[in-house]
Chains A and B, each alone.
Chain A
Amino acid sequence: MAIPRFWREIQSRYNLIGTKCGSCGKVDFPPRAVCPTCGRRSVGKMERLHLKGKGAVVTYTVIHDAPAQFEMQKPYVMAIIQMDEGVRLTSQLIDVKPENVKIGMKVQATFRKLGQEGEAGVIHYGYKFRPTA
């Protein structure tokens, strides 16, 4: 992945920055320029919002056939998480055995290495989630 392509999203990938619609109050992640509910009325009214990083598992899977970049991590758990702010996102779930993952489980974001471009390439960082302590 080209460095700028990853770099320009690091605000959201490092700090969970999303947007809140100034018209209806709905929260989106990653940031959107247009609210899917309000459409044109929301243009120019999308406010930056820092998600608190807490949520619950809506669904999950254990990945066994992994892309080359994730080969060393398999099997690993991926989940769709509903954040306390209402928006959902997709993330890896760590520090939990696959058999102990449950729908509804409370989780929180943590800062981790996501991947690396080859052996000496740029390292990508971002969020993963783990069970709430």
Chain B
Amino acid sequence: MRDVAVIGVGETEFGELWDRSFRDLGIEAGLKAIQDAKLRSEDIDAVYIGNMSAGKFIDQEHVSALVADYAGLADMHLPTVRVEGGGACGAIALLQGRLAIASGMYDIVVVGGAEKMTDVSEVQAAEILSSTADQEWETVFGATFAGLYAMMARRHMYEYHTTREQMAAVAVKNHKNGSLNPEAQFQKEITLETVLHAPWVAEPLGLFDCAPLSDGAAAVVLCEMQKARKFTDTPIRILGSGQASDFLALHDRRDLTMMDATVVAGKRAFQEARLEPKDVQVAEVHDNFTISEILAIEDLRFVEKGKGGPATADGLTALNGKISVNTSGGLKARGQPVGATGVAQAVEIVRQLRGQAGKRQVVGARRGLTHTLGGTGATAVVHIFERGD
């Protein structure tokens, strides 16, 4: 396998962007990434797009050709691929792009991720998110996406004595990080009381335990490592990738307080990278709910199983803590345009490793990790990155 590096990154602002269409967002992120890589369009071999549900959100399928078209690439007749995998689609697109280059088939690939979620009502959007759970045996009976994560939270509280305050600490930290990210949806700090006193969504999760609905897009340019040095002095190498799946329905999983897909994806990525969790300084993990970040840092072995709550409350995962988690603000504060998530996480890690993260820069960041979930954990993807200079 050939080594692959990220040589360009770009993203739109995230938020309720009423004046911007799906194609506007996809193109902006893609062009920014291409510009960042100082690439000519002729250099591109293929385009991969992570998108969860454009068909339901904006009534448009076939979005890979659409984005390439409006990015001015139609005349090049590039191969374009749209990847679906619930919330993990962007991270899977990145893995597919990496594989295409590693195999020798392509040299340069643009990987984008985009979602336009605010053209439907909030209730409809929540139902669309729920469709990544089991529609026939979970949601048809009244389970919601938040409700399923709430049941993981409840069980984690029962088995490990995790508290609502410890979960709330995830939201407080990620809003604090988001306040340092000019592209984040929420750039405002919040207090523990705000999280604890917010209206319930699904007990024990309140409104501030949940990531928002967002519009937005992100893109990265991937390049074969030797060639990458012609474009940049700081190529960010992908050292390892792992993807794993599990039972679709939460009730069928082996353990409700742990995501086996994350455990396995993490092991595969660390094994390929020949690294241990302690070798990573910065991580973007899938915090679609506060409990998700607690599960992720445990299942990726950054902290001991069951200790994710206390670790967060004690600041171990704060900016420049033992390991800096979700420096971008995470899904919670940066925003959650589903298809963009995995790619936006990679954009943040690249910025951190290049030393371009501004006020939220992690000191001495050399290796970073992204972790992305599909559904309630039926898919998980982990990528590990390193400065290549």
Nearest-Cβ distance from residue B105 to partner chain A, whole angstroms: 32
Interface majority SS (helix, strand, loop, mixed), chain A:
strand
Q: Is A64's CB under 8 angstroms from B252's CB?
A: no
- The verdict on B160 contacting chain A, using a C-beta distance below 8 Å, is no
Q: In chain A, residues 14-58, which have Cβ atoms closer than 8 Å to a Cβ of chain B? A: 30, 36, 58
Q: Which residue of B lies closest to A74 (CB)?
A: B142
Q: Which residues of A sit under 8 angstroms from B146, Cβ to Cβ?
A: 63, 65
Q: Which residues of A sit under 8 angstroms from B204, Cβ to Cβ?
A: 61
Q: Is A89's CB under 8 angstroms from B150's CB?
A: no
Q: Is B123's CB under 8 angstroms from A67's CB?
A: yes
Nearest-Cβ distance from residue A7 to partner chain B, whole angstroms: 12
Q: Which residues of A sit under 8 angstroms from B136, Cβ to Cβ?
A: 9, 30
Tell me the complex Cα distance, A90–B251, Å. 6
Tell me the complex Cα distance, A68–B139, Å. 12
**Count of chain B residues with a beta carbon within 8 Å of a chain A beta carbon:** 35
Q: Which residue of B lies closest to A75 (CB)?
A: B200
Q: Is A80's CB under 8 angstroms from B151's CB?
A: yes
A59-B154, A60-B151 known; A65-B250 Cβ under 8 A: no
Tell me the complex Cα distance, A30–B368, Å. 41
- The verdict on A123 contacting chain B, using a C-beta distance below 8 Å, is no
A36-B247, A80-B250, A90-B251 known; A64-B203 Cβ under 8 A: yes
Q: In chain B, residues 172-231, which have Cβ atoms closer than 8 Å to a Cβ of chain A? A: 199-205
Nearest-Cβ distance from residue A77 to partner chain B, whole angstroms: 9
- The verdict on B94 contacting chain A, using a C-beta distance below 8 Å, is no
Q: Which residues of A sit under 8 angstroms from B200, Cβ to Cβ?
A: 62, 64-65, 75
Q: Is B150's CB under 8 angstroms from A114's CB?
A: no
Q: Which residues of A sit under 8 angstroms from B205, Cβ to Cβ?
A: 61
Tell me the complex Cα distance, A126–B141, Å. 8
Nearest-Cβ distance from residue B232 to partner chain A, whole angstroms: 45
**Count of chain A residues with a beta carbon within 8 Å of a chain B beta carbon:** 36
Q: Which residues of B sit under 8 angstroms from A60, Cβ to Cβ?
A: 151, 154
Q: Is B202's CB under 8 angstroms from A65's CB?
A: yes
Q: Select A80's contact among B123, B140, B202, B256, beta carbons within 8 Å.
A: B256
A-B contact pairs, 20 of them (CB 8 A): A9-B136, A59-B154, A61-B151, A61-B204, A62-B203, A63-B146, A65-B146, A65-B200, A65-B202, A66-B144, A67-B126, A68-B123, A76-B142, A78-B142, A79-B151, A80-B250, A89-B137, A90-B148, A91-B141, A92-B141
Residues on B lying within 8 angstroms of A by beta carbon are 123, 126-127, 130, 136-144, 146-148, 150-152, 154-155, 158, 199-205, 247, 249-252, 256
Further contacts, 20 of them, CB under 8 A, given A60-B151, A61-B202: A30-B136, A36-B252, A59-B151, A63-B146, A65-B126, A65-B200, A65-B201, A67-B127, A70-B142, A78-B142, A78-B202, A88-B252, A90-B137, A90-B143, A90-B249, A90-B250, A90-B251, A91-B141, A103-B155, A114-B140
8 A-B pairs closest in CB distance: A61-B150, A88-B251, A59-B155, A62-B203, A64-B200, A59-B151, A80-B251, A61-B202
Residues on A lying within 8 angstroms of B by beta carbon are 1, 6, 9, 30, 36, 58-68, 70, 73, 75-76, 78-80, 88-92, 98, 103, 114-115, 124, 126-128
